[in-house]
Amino acid sequence: MSIAAAVAMPVTAVAQSETFPAPQDFSAMVQAKLPSVVGIIATGAEPTEAQRPRPQLPPGLEDFFGMPRPDAPPAGPRRALGSGFIISADGYVVTNNHVIEGASQIEVTIEDDQRITANLVGTDPATDIALLKVEDQDEAFPFVEWGDSRDLMIGEWVVAIGNPFGLGGTVTSGIVSAQSRNINSGPYDDFIQTDAAINSGNSGGPLFDAEGRVIGVNTAIYSPSGGSVGIGFAVPSHVAERIVDDLRDDGQVDRGWLGVQIQPVSDAIASALGLGDTSGALVNDVTQGGPAAEAGVQSGDVVLSVEGSDIADPRDLIFSIADLAIGQEASLTVWRDGQERELAVEIGRQPGSVNVAAQMDTDSDAGEPRLGASVAPLTSELRAQLGLPDTINGLFIQGVAPGSVAAQAGLSRGDVIVEIDNEVADSVSVVRDAMEAAQSENRPVLLRVYRGGTYQFIAVPTQDNDG
């Protein structure tokens, strides 16, 4: 058959009887919401020479340059620009953790470029959410309200407002491209994907639905070029709102913990275990002394449901357990030896749930030195999640409080404290004791830190010592 003959063949027409209204104009909504969207300026301590980026030089040329190098970046405090939004008349502000992490000072810019110093209430690095508080004695702040991201549909209009590249009050629009995206940034990935233009500086800003409700917190982009290519991600409001409420309550986020390592159920594994399909989460290790171990969960069990709700995959189990109350007795249905079994487990608190901001509180225990970092013991689960070798032991830094001695010394999320003053850092009490001893001797404390595949020593001042 020729191409011409193929083109000439009749085509059966499909009636398109349904019509749709044209998209509405967003101008009225944007004008109403703009005053509640703010810029964030996070200023960090001046980087040390070891932390300052160095130019890449051919071998043998390194020693020819004195200090400072002629082509080295200028010295000065580090600054990060981001976005945020006000959620209450008394000045609570939501932004991203990565915008303010490591800052010694945080400022919020409102209308007319007015700057107000903000205090950190708390952070949740796992979802990249931070909560700030600003004060204004004269009048109430304009604020926005949360919507329910679970009601969103793919193709629905959304509007992003923020501070891209420092250009405050920038508005972009697009649609919901996908829901529940996992971009492998953490264990609680559940992002809204949108093609609304999101660029550097939009981080922490709101994603609105067409009616002006916040249905997401803009967090990340996929960008080979560094600019928007129409693939942006936002933390959905049904996740962010719960995290913010928890931070507002006591400055920290408490998540349920089961104490297991899990993996997906493949077709081959399902067949080997006598399962009808691949639903569930296969337990490949149980943490000794954890809630699952106490409840009788064993390696090789497949968790099929929690509190009567089916578990589709490991990610589903992680979210289900995290949302349960600490101390709650929950029912687990597991598959073992070819049959279902019911187990009762008391949900534990996820290790390392520490209030970063509270560690800066000088009203209580005023003489006690504080590191100002949220740390978690390196359990086998956390080590596997972070891809750390079995030889690395210590305390994983989950977050660093702005203005703390940890921030001043250059510690950051992802570092592992291996030793402190030549003592193995295997518990928070070891760190506390070492800092108290260093303070009594009016000297910094010396940390050995694992970072990016290498070790380095970092001197951290105690609260009463500028170092």
Pairing of strands 191-194, 170-181: antiparallel
Residue 266 is among the residues annotated as catalytic for this protein: no
Residue 238 is among the residues annotated as catalytic for this protein: no
Tell which residue, 426, 420, 428, has the closest CA to residue 448.
420
Instruction: Give phi and psi for 241, each to the nearest 5.
Output: -65, -40
From 83, 173, 177, 203, the catalytic residue: 203
First to last CA, the chain: 85
Cis peptide before 236 (omega within 30 of 0): no
Residues paired with residue 105 on neighbouring β-strands, in sequence order: 43
From 36, 83, 124, 128, the catalytic residue: 128
Match 């064993």 to its residue by tokens: 298
Residue 98 is among the residues annotated as catalytic for this protein: yes
- Which of the residues are catalytic? 98, 128, 203
